[in-house]
């Protein structure tokens, strides 16, 4: 699935002109990106949190040449999915292929 697919889904579900759907999707993604650029956390309830973390300098290796190199300290984005997102991924799976192990107590 690509950005174009997300835009079509939004367009199908929401009664807005295609161009509005497209612009809004772009604005949502850009606003999240620019907020993270400032080092600020983005918390999307029901989805997850995007957090900027500081990584210390560490030793790495060029996998091709085996040469040891210094990986500079940097800021990286990490995403922590919410419980709702995690459960959504697991539940949908067990609902479709019946993957609940036998002998598991029914709830």
Partner 1 sequence: MTKAELIDKISEKRPGLTRKQVEVVVNSVLDSIKDALAKEDKVEIRGFGSFRIRHRRAKEGRNPKTGETVSVPPKKVPFFKAGKEMREMVDGKL
For partner 1, the closer CB: 17 or 66: 17
Q: How far is it, in rounded angstroms, from Cα 84 to Cα 107?
A: 18
Place of tokens 């295609």: 18
* Distant-in-sequence, close-in-space partners of 18: CB < 8 Å, separation ≥ 6: 7, 11
Binding residues for partner 1 (CB under 8 A): 1-3, 5-6, 9-10, 13-14, 16, 20-21, 23-25, 27-29, 31-33, 35-37, 39-48, 50, 52, 74-79, 81, 85-86, 88-90, 92-93, 101
Least distance to partner 1 from the beta carbon of 61, Å?
20
Least distance to partner 1 from the beta carbon of 69, Å?
17
For partner 1, the closer CB: 1 or 66: 1
* Distant-in-sequence, close-in-space partners of 81: CB < 8 Å, separation ≥ 6: 47, 48
For partner 1, the closer CB: 38 or 65: 38
Least distance to partner 1 from the beta carbon of 12, Å?
9
Residue 89 DSSP one-character state: H
Helical (H) or strand (E) element with 21: helix 18-37
């Amino acid at each position: 699935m690509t950005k174009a697919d997300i835009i079509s889904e939004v367009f199908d579900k929401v009664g807005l002109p295609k161009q509005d759907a497209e612009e809004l999707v772009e604005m949502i993604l850009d606003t999240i990106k620019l907020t993270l650029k400032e080092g600020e956390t983005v918390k999307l309830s029901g989805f997850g949190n995007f957090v900027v973390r500081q990584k210390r300098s560490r030793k790495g290796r060029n996998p091709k040449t085996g040469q040891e190199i210094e990986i500079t300290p940097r800021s990286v984005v990490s995403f922590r999915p919410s419980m709702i997102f995690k459960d959504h991924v697991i539940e949908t799976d067990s609902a479709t292929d019946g993957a609940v192990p036998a002998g598991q107590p029914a709830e």
